[in-house]
C-alpha cells in the first residue's frame, strides 16, 4: 500500500479535485489518501470559532455559511449536485456549536470541534467525486480511527489503539481509502486536531500503522529546495535527503513538511516523496535512510512569528539547573513551541512561536522572574553556514540574538527585515 497526502493547495477548487483524479488514474495498487481542508478553509473556520467564542452568533452563522457556499459551489462544479451529501453531513456537526446557547468553557475544545469540519467537508467531496467517476473507494472518519488524548489543538496520538482501529476499519475488499488529515478523536467521541499543518503527520502515522511502502505528499512546489522558493528567487532543488537532515529542516521551520512527520517514517524506514501536483512529470524530492548527508549546499530556513522571552532571576542568583526545569515546566504547561534557547549567567532567553497561550505564559513567568519580551520576530536558520553567507545574512539587519555552531547559524531578526535578502 502507498499513502498519498493532498494538501490544501492541491484541492483548493474543482480543478484541483479533477487533477487529483488524474493523478490517481495512473495508480494501480492499494492507496490510502489523506486529504487536507480545501484551500484556506482552516483559516476561515478559525474565524468562525472566534465569533462563537465571542458570542457573536449572527457573525458566526454568516462566516460558516460562506464556507458552506464555497464547498457547495465546488461540489456543484464537479457535478455532484448543489445539495451535496458533504454539506448535509457536516451541517448538524456545525449546528451543535453554532446554535448552542453558550460556548463551551474551553476555547481549544471548541476550536477542534469546529475546525475539524474542513477536512471532513473536503474528503466527503473528494470521495463522492471519485465515486462519480467510477472509482470505488471507502471514506473513513479519521476521528474514529486515530485515537488521541484530550489535549485539544495539540493532541497526542495513541499509536497502539489507533493501529488496531485503523486495521479493523479498512475494508479489505477496497483498493482506495480516503481519510482526513490533521484530525483525530478522543475515546469520549470528541474531535481533536494535531496542530496546524498536521496532515503530513497524519499521513506518516497512518503509513507507519499500515506498513505502507511509501508516502507521497503532493505540494505546489517541485520538491524540497534549499530555501522557500516563495521567498527566495535563486534556490536549488534537493533531490534526496536523509531523515536526519529532513527533521532538522522541518523543525527549523521549513513549512514544506510538518516537523512531526519524519519520526513515524524513520521508525519503519518508509520513504517520503515530495511531488508537485501541477507538474507530475517532475521527479521531486525523496527523504529516506540512504540519502547522503546534506553537505556543500547551504540551506536557509525561516521560522516566522517568533517571540523572544528573556528571563532574569529577580534575586540576581540564577541557579541554572533549577530555573531551567522550572521554566520548561511552564513552557510545557502552556504548550509553547520553542525554536531557540540561550542562557547566560543571569538570564535565560527562549524564542517561541507566537501562539494563543504566549501572553498567559509570560504572565506566569513574570511572577517568578523579571521578564522582557520582543514580538514580531523571525528566526533564520542557516545549515551549512560559512563566514561569507553568515556575514551576508547579518548585513543590514538588527540581530536580536545570534547562535552559531560549526555548521549551523541561527539569527533572530525583526520580521519586517526578514525577507530583505539571504
Does 143 bind ligand ASP (CB under 6 A)? Our answer is no
SS3 121: helix
Is 245 a residue that touches Mg ion (CB under 5 A)? no
40 Cβ neighbours under 8 A, 6+ residues apart: 8, 12
Under 8 Å between Cβ of 96 and 102: no
Q: Could you say whether residue 119 binds Mg ion (CB under 5 A)? A: no
Nearer to Mg ion, 7 or 103 (CB): 7
Residue 8 or 103 having the CB closest to ligand ADP? 8
Residue 126: all three cell numbers together = 473528494
Q: Does 197 bind Mg ion (CB under 5 A)?
A: yes
Torsion of the alpha carbons at 29, 34, 40 and 46, rounded to the nearest 10 = 170
Residues 146-185 that bind ligand ASP (CB under 6 A): 181-182
Q: How far is the CB of 312 from ligand ASP (least distance, A)?
A: 36
* Nearest approach, Cβ of residue 58 and ligand ASP (Å): 26
Q: Examine residue 8 and tell whether it contacts ligand ADP (CB under 6 A).
A: yes
Q: Is 112 in the site for Mg ion (CB under 5 A)?
A: no
CB nearer to ligand ADP: pick between 5 and 147? 5
Q: What Rg, from alpha-carbon coordinates, does the chain have?
A: 22
**Could you say which of 10, 42, 285, 288 contacts ligand ASP (CB under 6 A)?**
42
State the DSSP code for 50.
Answer: H
Distance CA 288, CA 283 (A): 15
Instruction: Give 7 or 16: the residue with its C-beta nearer to ligand ASP.
Output: 7
Distance in Å, CB of 203 to ligand ASP, minimum = 9
Q: How far is CA 374 from CA 217, 358, 370, 412, 418, in A?
A: 35, 12, 14, 11, 15
Question: Residues 14, 32, 37, 365: which binds ligand ASP (CB under 6 A)?
Answer: 37
Of the candidates 164, 207, 157, 221, the one whose C-alpha atom is nearest the C-alpha of residue 184 is 157
Residue 236 beta carbon to ligand ASP: minimum distance, rounded to whole angstroms: 26
Q: For the chain, what percentages of helix, strand and coil (3-state, to nearest 5) are there? A: 40, 25, 35
Which residue, 207, 181, 202, 200, is CA-closest to 268? 207
Q: Which residues on neighbouring strands pair with residue 148, listed in sequence order?
A: 157
Rounded CA-CA distance 403/350 in Å is 12
Is residue 287 classed as helix, strand or coil in its secondary structure? strand
Q: In a 3-state reduction of DSSP, which class is residue 109?
A: helix
178 touches which of ligand ASP, ligand ADP, Mg ion, none (CB within 5 to 8 A by kind)?
A: none
| Nearer CB in complex with ligand ASP: 153/222 | 153
In angstroms, give the least distance from the CB of 293 to ligand ASP. Answer: 28
* 147, β-bridge pairs: 185
Tell me the closest approach of the beta carbon of residue 274 to Mg ion, in angstroms: 12
8 binds ligand ASP (CB under 6 A): yes
Where in 23-62 is the site for ligand ADP (CB under 6 A)? 36
Choosing from 47, 138, 214, 255, the residue that interacts with ligand ADP (CB under 6 A) is 255
User: How many residues of this chain bind ligand ASP (CB under 6 A)?
Assistant: 12
Choice between 182 and 318, CB closer to Mg ion = 182
DSSP 225: B
Assess 351 for contact with ligand ASP (CB under 6 A): no
196 binds, among ligand ASP, ligand ADP, Mg ion, none (CB under 5 to 8 A by kind): ligand ASP
Task: State the burial class of residue 367 (Cβ atoms within 10 Å of its Cβ: 0-12, 13-18, 19+).
Answer: exposed
Among 170, 254, 327, 340, binds ligand ADP (CB under 6 A): 254
Nearer to Mg ion, 143 or 181 (CB): 181
Q: Tell me which residues touch ligand ADP (CB under 6 A).
A: 7-9, 36, 197, 219-221, 224-225, 227-230, 254-256
Amino acid at each position: 500500500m502507498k499513502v498519498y497526502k493532498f494538501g490544501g493547495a492541491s484541492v483548493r477548487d474543482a480543478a484541483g479535485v479533477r487533477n487529483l483524479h488524474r493523478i490517481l488514474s495512473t495508480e494501480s495498487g492499494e492507496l490510502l489518501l489523506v486529504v487536507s481542508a480545501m484551500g484556506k478553509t482552516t483559516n476561515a473556520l478559525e474565524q468562525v470559532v472566534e465569533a462563537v467564542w465571542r458570542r457573536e452568533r449572527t457573525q458566526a452563522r454568516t462566516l460558516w455559511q460562506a464556507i458552506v457556499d464555497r464547498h457547495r459551489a465546488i461540489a456543484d462544479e464537479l457535478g455532484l449536485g448543489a445539495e451535496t451529501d458533504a454539506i448535509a453531513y457536516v451541517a448538524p456537526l456545525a449546528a451543535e456549536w453554532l446554535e448552542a446557547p453558550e460556548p463551551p468553557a474551553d476555547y481549544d475544545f471548541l476550536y477542534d470541534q469546529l475546525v475539524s469540519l474542513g477536512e471532513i467537508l473536503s474528503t466527503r467531496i473528494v470521495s463522492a467525486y471519485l465515486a462519480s467517476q467510477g472509482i470505488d473507494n471507502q471514506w473513513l472518519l479519521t476521528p474514529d480511527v486515530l485515537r488521541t488524548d484530550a489535549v485539544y489543538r495539540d493532541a497526542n496520538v495513541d499509536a497502539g489503539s489507533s493501529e488496531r482501529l485503523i486495521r479493523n476499519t479498512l475494508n479489505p475488499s477496497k483498493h482506495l481509502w480516503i481519510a482526513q488529515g490533521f484530525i483525530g478523536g478522543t475515546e469520549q467521541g470528541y474531535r481533536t486536531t494535531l496542530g496546524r499543518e498536521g496532515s503530513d503527520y497524519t499521513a506518516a502515522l497512518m503509513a507507519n500503522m499500515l506498513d505502507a511502502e511509501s508516502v507521497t505528499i503532493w505540494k505546489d512546489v517541485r520538491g524540497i529546495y534549499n530555501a522557500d522558493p516563495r521567498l527566495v528567487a535563486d534556490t536549488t532543488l534537493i533531490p534526496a535527503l536523509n531523515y536526519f537532515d529532513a527533521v532538522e529542516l522541518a523543525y527549523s521551520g521549513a513549512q514544506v513538511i510538518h516537523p512531526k512527520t519524519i519520526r513515524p517514517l524513520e521508525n519503519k524506514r518508509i520513504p517520503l516523496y515530495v511531488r508537485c501536483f501541477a507538474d507530475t512529470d517532475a521527479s521531486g524530492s525523496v527523504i529516506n535512510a540512504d540519502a547522503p548527508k546534506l553537505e556543500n549546499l547551504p540551506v536557509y530556513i525561516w521560522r516566522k512569528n517568533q517571540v523572544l522571552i528573556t528571563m532574569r532571576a529577580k534575586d540576581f542568583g540564577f541557579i541554572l539547573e533549577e530555573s531551567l526545569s522550572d521554566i520548561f515546566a511552564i513552557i510545557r504547561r502552556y504548550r509553547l513551541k520553542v525554536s531557540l534557547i540561550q542562557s547566560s549567567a543571569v538570564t535565560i532567553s527562549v524564542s517561541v512561536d507566537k501562539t494563543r497561550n504566549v501572553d498567559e505564559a509570560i504572565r506566569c513567568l513574570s511572577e517568578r522572574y523579571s521578564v522582557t519580551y520582543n514580538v514580531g520576530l523571525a528566526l533564520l536558520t542557516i545549515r551549512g553556514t560559512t563566514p561569507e553567507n553568515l556575514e551576508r545574512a547579518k548585513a543590514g539587519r538588527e540581530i536580536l540574538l545570534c547562535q552559531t555552531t560549526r555548521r549551523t547559524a541561527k539569527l533572530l531578526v525583526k520580521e519586517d527585515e526578514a525577507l530583505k535578502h539571504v
